[in-house]
C-alpha cells in the first residue's frame, strides 16, 4: 500500500484536533514553526497541510495575520437551527428538553471518562460559578450566565465524546439574547439560588467521584427544576396580567 504523504498525516492530525474540540471556530492556530516542532516535522510539510485544509474550507488564512479555524465550522448545524428557534415561541421549552437529554448524556460519560486534567478544569469552573451564586443578585448577570454555560461546557469536554461536545458548543452559540435559556437567570429569590447551587454541587461531586448514574440524575434533575421554575414564572405573569385587565375593566 502507498504510504500517505507526510502533509496528509499532518492535515489529519489538525482535523482531529478540531474535531475533538481542542481548536474551535475562529481560533488562531499556533505559528507554523510551533506546529512543526509539536508534530516533529518540517515547516514546508506543515505549510502544505494547512494549504490543503484551507482548500477544504476547514481553515482560513489572513495575509500577515496567521491561520484560523474557519467560521463556517459547525454552521451547517447552527445556522438552520438558529432560524427555527428564533421563529418559535416554544424555543425556551424545546431547548430545555434538548438540554435534559444531551447534558444528561454528557454528565454520564464525564463521570466515566474525566481525566485528572478534566477534573482540574471542572473544579475551577465550579469555583467561579459558585462565587457568582454567592454574590448579591445585583451582580453582573451576564457573567453569571457565562460561568454557568462554561461549567456545563467543561462537562461536555470531559465526556470525551466529540459529537456531544460539538452539539453542546453549537447549541450554546444558538442561545443568543432572543432565545437564551437563562443559565443563571431563573434565580429570582434566595431560595431558588440556593437550590441551583446545590444542584450544581451534586452534579460536580458525582462527576468528581466517577458516579455516572448519579451524574445523569443530577443533570436531568437540574434541567427539570429550571423547567418547573420557568413554567411557574410564566403562570405568575399570566395571573398578574389577568388581574391588571380586571382593574382596567372596573
CB 25 within 8 A of CB 70: yes
Report pTM. Answer: 0.66
Confidence band of 232 (pLDDT split at 50, 70, 90): confident
The confidence score (pLDDT) of residue 16 equals 81
Mean pLDDT of all residues in 83-101 = 69
In percent, how much of the chain has pLDDT > 70? 76
pLDDT in tens, 34-86: 999 999 999 999 999 999 888 888 888 887 778 988 876 655 455 545 555 55
CB 229 within 8 A of CB 207: no
The confidence score (pLDDT) of residue 45 equals 92
Q: Could you tell me the CA-to-CA distances from 203 to 122, 198, 208 in Å, in that order?
A: 11, 9, 9
Collapsed DSSP state (helix, strand, coil) of residue 28: strand
Lowest-pLDDT choice from 23-32, 172-181, 221-230, 241-250: 172-181
CB 191 within 8 A of CB 213: no
CB 191 within 8 A of CB 172: no
Which run of H or of E encompasses 66? strand 66-69
Q: What is the C-alpha separation between 85 and 79, in angstroms, rounded?
A: 10
Q: Could you tell me the CA-to-CA distances from 155 to 55, 133, 208 in Å, in that order?
A: 33, 19, 11
Which residues on adjacent β-strands are paired with residue 66?
62
Q: Which of 162, 147, 158 is nearest to 200 (CA)?
A: 147
Q: Which of 59, 88, 73 is nearest to 165 (CA)?
A: 73
Model confidence at 94: pLDDT above 80:
no
Which run of H or of E encompasses 60? strand 59-62
Q: What is the C-alpha separation between 91 and 64, in angstroms, rounded?
A: 42
pLDDT in tens, 138-166: 457 778 888 888 999 999 999 999 899 98
Confidence band of 181 (pLDDT split at 50, 70, 90): very low
CA dihedral 184, 185, 189, 193 (to 10 degrees): -10
Which is more confidently placed, 172 or 225? Answer: 225
Q: Which of 184, 189, 250, 171 is nearest to 222 (CA)?
A: 184
Please give the sequence-ordered ranges of beta strands (E in DSSP) within the chain, or none if there are none: 59-62, 66-69
Q: What is the C-alpha separation between 149 and 155, in angstroms, rounded?
A: 10
Model confidence at 180: pLDDT above 60:
no
Mean pLDDT of all residues in 8-36 = 85
The dihedrals phi and psi of 231, each to the nearest 5 degrees, come to -65, -45
Mean pLDDT of all residues in 194-205 = 94
Mean pLDDT of all residues in 210-236 = 88
Amino acid at each position: 500500500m502507498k504510504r500517505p504523504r507526510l502533509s496528509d498525516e499532518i492535515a489529519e492530525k489538525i482535523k482531529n484536533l478540531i474535531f475533538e474540540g481542542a481548536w474551535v471556530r475562529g481560533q488562531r492556530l499556533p505559528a507554523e514553526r510551533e506546529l512543526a516542532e509539536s508534530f516533529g516535522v518540517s515547516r514546508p510539510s506543515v505549510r502544505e497541510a494547512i494549504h490543503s485544509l484551507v482548500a477544504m474550507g476547514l481553515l482560513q488564512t489572513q495575509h500577515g495575520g496567521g491561520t484560523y479555524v474557519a467560521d463556517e465550522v459547525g454552521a451547517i448545524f447552527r445556522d438552520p437551527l438558529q432560524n427555527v428557534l428564533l421563529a418559535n415561541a416554544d424555543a425556551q421549552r424545546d431547548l430545555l428538553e434538548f438540554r435534559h437529554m444531551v447534558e444528561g448524556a454528557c454528565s454520564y460519560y464525564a463521570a466515566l471518562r474525566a481525566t485528572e486534567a478534566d477534573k482540574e478544569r471542572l473544579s475551577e469552573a465550579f469555583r467561579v460559578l459558585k462565587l457568582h451564586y454567592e454574590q448579591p443578585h445585583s451582580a453582573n448577570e451576564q457573567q453569571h450566565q457565562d460561568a454557568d454555560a462554561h461549567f456545563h461546557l467543561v462537562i461536555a469536554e470531559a465526556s470525551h465524546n466529540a459529537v456531544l461536545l460539538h452539539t453542546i458548543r453549537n447549541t450554546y452559540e444558538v442561545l443568543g439574547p432572543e432565545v437564551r435559556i437563562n443559565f443563571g437567570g431563573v434565580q429570582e429569590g434566595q431560595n431558588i439560588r440556593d437550590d441551583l447551587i446545590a444542584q450544581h454541587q451534586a452534579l460536580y461531586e458525582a462527576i468528581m467521584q466517577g458516579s455516572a448514574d448519579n451524574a445523569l440524575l443530577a443533570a436531568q434533575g437540574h434541567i427539570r427544576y429550571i423547567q418547573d421554575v420557568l413554567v411557574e414564572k410564566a403562570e405568575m405573569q399570566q395571573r398578574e396580567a389577568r388581574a391588571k385587565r380586571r382593574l382596567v375593566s372596573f
